Structure 1
Amino acid sequence: MTYKNKPKPDDRSDNVEKLQSMIHDTIENMEAAEESLRFTTSETQRREIEAKNERRRESIESFRSEIKDEV
């Protein structure tokens, strides 16, 4: 059986813009989560939000590192 599908070429020309957009979106999500902390009284929910924001900070650092690699 012969497959005629070919992989798409690796186009990274807009990779930096995509990464910057991802950073922007992640920061907005962090800010929204921080805002929600003001309204929660649940300690469990507070810890979950803080842990998620910490993972978001790590992701942002990874995105920034990848941008440096691309440039």
Structure 2
Amino acid sequence: MKSKPDDRRDNVDRIQQSIDNTIENIHETNEMIENTNREKNKDDLKAKNCRREAALDEFKSEIKDEARAKEKGYK
């Protein structure tokens, strides 16, 4: 069985979609933080958003790498 060749043409689009989804999740979680009175829940939600912020930094770095690779024809 032959494996599929690596097709990276849509990687930038997929990463951008992940960035958009993560930003939306951060905003929704911020609303949840504002609307809850339980400190434990707030702390958990804030921690989750911190992890999301870190993921955004990684996504942005990855999208730059993919954009450069796309410009070079993925060589």
Question: Which TM-score applies when normalising by structure 2?
Answer: 0.85
CA drift of 1:6 comes to 2.0
**CA RMSD after TM alignment:** 0.7
Equivalent residue number for residue 45 of structure 1: 41
**Would you say how many aligned residue pairs link Structure 1 and Structure 2?**
67
Q: 1:66 aligns with which of 62, 67, 74?
A: 62
Which structure is larger by alpha-carbon Rg, 1 or 2?
A: 1
Q: Hey, what's the Cα distance between the residues in 2 that align with 1:7 and 1:31?
A: 40
Structure 1 residue ranges (4+ consecutive) displaced by more than 4 angstroms after TM superposition: none
Relative to total residues, which structure has the larger helix share, 1 or 2?
A: 2
Give 1:1-71 correspondences, 5 Å limit.
Answer: 5-71=1-67
Question: Which TM-score applies when normalising by structure 1?
Answer: 0.90
Which amino acid in structure 2 is aligned with residue 38 of structure 1?
A: E
Structure 2 unaligned blocks of 5 or more: 68-75
Structure 1 unaligned blocks of 5 or more: none
